[in-house]
Structure 1
Amino acid sequence: MKTYTSVIFWMRTIACLSIVLIHSITTTFSKMDFVGHGTTIRVIQLLLMFSTPLFVFISEFLLAKNYHVQTKPGFFKNKLIYLGIPYIFINIGISIFYFESKTFEQFIQHFADTMFHGGAVTYFIVIIFQFYILHIFFAKYIIKWKPIPVIIGAVIFATLYWAFRQFAPQSENPILGLFWEREGWMLFLGWISYFLLGFYSGIYYETLMANIKKYTWHIIIGAVVATSILIGNYLLGISTWVESKRFDIPFYVTMIILLFFLFSSYIKYVPKFVLFISNYSFCIYLIHYFFVHDLGLLRADSSLRNIAFNFIITVTVSICLAYVLNLFKFGKFVVGGIGHIKYDKVYESYRHGKMD
């Protein structure tokens, strides 16, 4: 019987839905000219900024857990096909429909921005490919290091990287200056803590899960501290950016990931809804951007209702479009593939205690 890692289903689902909710909030505030006035909602949005880091973490976690330091022959080619081709098609679509290119020259400019300059939500795929390259070339060396000091060091490095981009003046050098632009957040440097945490938690997954309950209160307290720092920096005006490229995000995301593992050590059951969204998560991530910004307002006087309306419609339409296109062989290359993990298999694994 196949062993399923239940925490991954929860991670994918919550990260995916959180991303749609983040953009639903942004859209609602923009259309209502409400930005800066809904502090509570903006803080909630800020707390959801673990979403994209969680997606890139999952990619390395699964790679390390399934293959350890060696990847199977053709692994990178397979990823180029099933991640790279949708990356191109979605960026073409965003360039045409989201940026509304009027001329071919505008299309080329927008397409170049989305492909190479992080101009769209698809940039996370570029980071995932960097993780794959790092794993292929450096996993055999990294595995020799002690995990905890390396992870702590990586969190500190990532924190300093994002802080440098935010607080240091941008270099006038045209090359160095790119570190302050979108190119700077596409580099693996700011995401290295998620790579290393994913690597070591995947390699030593059994050991992690066998011992994590011993550190229940350490993780909970750490998560509370990280959350307090994040909210405090925002409310005090130290960093008012509501995005995942903040200097206080690496520590926060690390604690959120540990909370997921801690939760999984107590609860391994995966509800049907969670598995369903997990199977569609990649498609939802890629497709939702075409709809979330174009929906009108449900009520001109209620931001919460507009957010809920935008969120529900966007998720529903994204799932329906992904389902229809994946009925055709080319569909998975346009909007990403749908997972085919069946609830009955997962539940059977859960009942027989075969689920991680």
Structure 2
Amino acid sequence: MKTYTSVIFWMRALACLSIVLIHAITTTFIQSDNIGKGTLIRVIQLLLMFSTPLFVFISEFLLAKNYHTSIKKGFFKDKLLFLGIPYVCINIGISYFYFKPKTFTEFLGFLESTMFHGAAVTYFIVIILQFYILHFLFSKYLVNRNPILMVLFSVLFATVYWGIRQFIPQPESPILAWFWDREGWMLFLGWLSYFILGFYTGIYYEKLMANIKKYTWLILLGTLLSTAFLIFNYVSGVSTWVESKRFDIPIYVTMIILLFFLFSAYFKYVPKFIIFISNYSFCIYLLHYFFVNQLGLLREDSAIRNIVFTFIITVTVSICLAYLINQFKWGKYIIGGIGHIKYEKVYESYKHGKVD
């Protein structure tokens, strides 16, 4: 009987739903001209910024957990097919349907921006592909290093990287200025902590889960403090950016990830809804941007109702469209594939103690 890793279902489902909610909040404020007026909602949005980092973390965690320091034959070919082709197709779609170019030349300009300059939500796929290359090149070296020291160093490095972009003025040099622009998002440097954490939690997963309960209060305290630090920086004006490319996000996301593992150590059961959303998570991530910005306001005087309305409609339409397109053999190459994990099999494994 197959053993399922319960934390992955939770991570995928909550990360993709949070991404949609983040963009539902953003589009509501834009359409109602209330940006900056809903502090509480913006803080909630800020706290959801673990979403994209969580997606890229999952990619390395699963690779390290399943293959350790090796990579199966044909791995890169498969990833180019199932990640690379949807990356191109979705960017073509965004360049046309979202940006609405008036000429073919303008369309090509938008396509260049989405493909190579991080102008679309698809940039996370580029980061994931870089993680795979890093794993191939450095996994045999990393496995012999001290995991705790490496994680701490990588969090510090990522913090400094985002801090430099945030607090130091963009230099005049075209080459250096490149790191301050959207292209800087697409480099693995700012996301390095999630790669390192994903690698070591994947390599030492069994040991981590056997001992994590010993650190329950430490993880809870660390999560509380990193959350408080994040909120303080925003409310006090130290950093008013509401995005995942902040200097205080790496430590916050690290604690959120550890909190997920801690939660899964105590609760193995995975609800049917979470498995369902997890199966559709990649498609939801890729498709939601076509709809979340196109819906009008439900009510001008209620931001909450409009956010909920936009969120529910966007998730529902994205799932329906993903299902329809994936009925064709080529569908998974266009908008990403749907997972085929059955709740019944997971539940059966859960009853037999095969869900870890």
Q: TM-score range by the shorter chain?
A: over 0.9
Q: CA deviation at 1:185?
A: 1.2
Tell me the SS of whatever aligns to 1:37: coil
CA distance in 1, matches of 2:106, 2:175: 24
CA distance in 2, matches of 1:76, 1:102: 37
CA distance in 1, matches of 2:311, 2:179: 33
What pairs with 1:1-356 in structure 2 (closer than 5 Å)?
A: 1-356=1-356
Equivalent position amino acid for 1:206 in 2: E
Any idea what the Cα deviations from partners look like across 1:263-307, whole Å, max 9, x if unmatched? Answer: 000001000000000000000000000000000111111000000
Q: CA deviation at 1:225?
A: 0.4
Q: CA deviation at 1:40?
A: 0.2
Equivalent position amino acid for 1:39 in 2: T
Q: CA deviation at 1:141?
A: 0.5
CA distance in 2, matches of 1:42, 1:251: 20
CA distance in 2, matches of 1:77, 1:205: 27
Gaps of 5+ in 2: none
CA distance in 2, matches of 1:47, 1:224: 12
Q: CA deviation at 1:245?
A: 0.1
Q: CA deviation at 1:135?
A: 0.2
CA distance in 2, matches of 1:234, 1:328: 46
Tell me the SS of whatever aligns to 2:145: coil
Tell me the SS of whatever aligns to 2:353: coil
CA distance in 2, matches of 1:184, 1:85: 23
CA distance in 2, matches of 1:157, 1:111: 32
Equivalent position amino acid for 2:3 in 1: T
Q: CA deviation at 1:308?
A: 0.2
Tell me the SS of whatever aligns to 2:72: coil
CA distance in 2, matches of 1:330, 1:72: 24
Tell me the SS of whatever aligns to 1:258: helix
TM-score by length of 2: 1.00
Equivalent position amino acid for 1:118 in 2: G
Equivalent position amino acid for 1:81 in 2: L
Equivalent position amino acid for 1:152 in 2: L
CA distance in 2, matches of 1:196, 1:300: 45
Q: CA deviation at 1:14?
A: 0.3
Tell me the SS of whatever aligns to 1:175: helix
Tell me the SS of whatever aligns to 1:202: helix
CA distance in 2, matches of 1:249, 1:143: 26
CA distance in 1, matches of 2:58, 2:193: 13
Q: CA deviation at 1:341?
A: 0.4
Two-structure CA RMSD over aligned residues (Å):
0.4
CA distance in 2, matches of 1:337, 1:228: 38
Q: Percent identity, aligned pairs only?
A: 73
Tell me the SS of whatever aligns to 1:170: coil
Equivalent position amino acid for 2:236 in 1: L
Equivalent position amino acid for 2:165 in 1: R
Any idea what the Cα deviations from partners look like across 1:31-54, whole Å, max 9, x if unmatched? Answer: 000000000000000000000000
Tell me the SS of whatever aligns to 2:337: coil
Runs of 4+ with deviation above 6 angstroms: none
Q: CA deviation at 1:102?
A: 1.2
TM-score by length of 1: 1.00
Q: CA deviation at 1:8?
A: 0.2
Tell me the SS of whatever aligns to 1:52: helix
Q: CA deviation at 1:74?
A: 0.4
Equivalent position amino acid for 1:82 in 2: F
CA distance in 2, matches of 1:79, 1:160: 31
CA distance in 2, matches of 1:104, 1:300: 36
CA distance in 1, matches of 2:178, 2:23: 25
Gaps of 5+ in 1: none
- The count of aligned residue pairs is 356
Q: CA deviation at 1:211?
A: 0.1
CA distance in 1, matches of 2:340, 2:246: 35
CA distance in 2, matches of 1:187, 1:89: 21
Q: CA deviation at 1:101?
A: 1.1
Any idea what the Cα deviations from partners look like across 1:84-137, whole Å, max 9, x if unmatched? Answer: 000000000000000001111011100000000000000000000000000001
CA distance in 2, matches of 1:255, 1:324: 38
CA distance in 2, matches of 1:113, 1:30: 22
